[in-house]
């Protein structure tokens, strides 16, 4: 009887993540605590809203060549352009979804500005409060993880976190990007 040689099956090669998948896997790996996940779901959109509202409230210089369109520009416009460009390089579909979300934020900001003009509270103060409360909550969430994350890593997450949350929503609804 001939002896059967043991089959030489190779283990599947490890999948190498690149680009957006790498960002998302690193982000997910450092966010395992369920309470931290909830904190991020609530406060990442709020911190982004607060950041855009703060930039909106900063005085924008008068630029002569813009003429009558000068009033249509502010620092948030430039931040929006940068953010959409950054996300467009990662995933055009996610960038378009993020653009619509940010335009929704802009609508809310303009409503706050109108409220301020009508005698309501200062929109810049509201934005600062939202931003700092969100920042403190996110910092507390990182502490819940129990991992020592570098300040640089946390700041990189500021750009990754919004599209990571959007990625989770799109994945839940089975929308490919």
For residue range 129-165, what is the model confidence (pLDDT) as tens digits? Answer: 999 999 999 889 888 888 776 677 667 777 888 999 9
Structure-block tokens of residue 33: 């605590």
pLDDT category, 99, cuts 50, 70, 90? very high
pLDDT at 7: 55
Q: What are the phi and psi torsion angles at 132 (to 5°)?
A: -70, -35
pLDDT value of position 149: 65
Which pLDDT belongs to residue 11? 55
Residue 11 sits at φ, ψ, to 5 deg, of -70, 145
Higher pLDDT, 25 or 148: 25
pLDDT digits over 29-51, tens only? Answer: 878 899 999 999 999 999 999 99
Residues in contact with 150: Cβ distance below 8 Å, sequence separation at least 6, in sequence order: none
Q: What is the largest CA-CA distance in the chain?
A: 97
pLDDT at 105: 97
Q: How confident is the prediction for the chain on average, in pLDDT?
A: 87
Q: What is the pLDDT of residue 29?
A: 82
Statement: residue 17 has pLDDT above 60: no
| pLDDT greater at residue 62 or residue 146 | 62
- Tens of pLDDT along 81-94? 999 999 999 899 99
Q: What pLDDT score does 165 carry?
A: 93
Q: Is the pTM of this model over 0.85?
A: no
Q: Pick from 119, 131, 116, 115: which is nearest to 55 by CA? A: 131
């Amino acid at each position: 009887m001939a002896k059967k040689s043991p089959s030489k099956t190779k283990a599947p090669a490890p999948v190498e993540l690149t680009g957006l998948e790498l960002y998302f896997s690193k982000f997910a790996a450092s966010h395992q605590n369920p309470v931290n996940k909830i904190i991020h779901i609530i406060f990442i959109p709020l911190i982004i809203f607060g950041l855009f509202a703060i930039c909106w409230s900063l005085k924008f210089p008068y630029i002569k060549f813009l003429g009558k369109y000068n009033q249509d520009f502010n620092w948030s416009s430039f931040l929006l352009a940068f953010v959409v460009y950054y996300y467009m390089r990662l995933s055009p579909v996610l960038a378009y979804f993020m653009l619509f979300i940010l335009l929704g934020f802009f609508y809310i900001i303009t409503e706050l500005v109108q409220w301020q003009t009508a005698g309501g509270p200062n929109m810049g103060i509201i934005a600062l409060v939202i931003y700092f409360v969100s920042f403190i909550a996110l910092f507390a969430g990182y502490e819940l993880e129990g991992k020592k994350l570098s300040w640089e890593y946390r700041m990189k997450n500021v750009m990754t976190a919004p599209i990571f949350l959007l990625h989770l929503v799109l994945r839940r609804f089975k929308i490919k990007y």
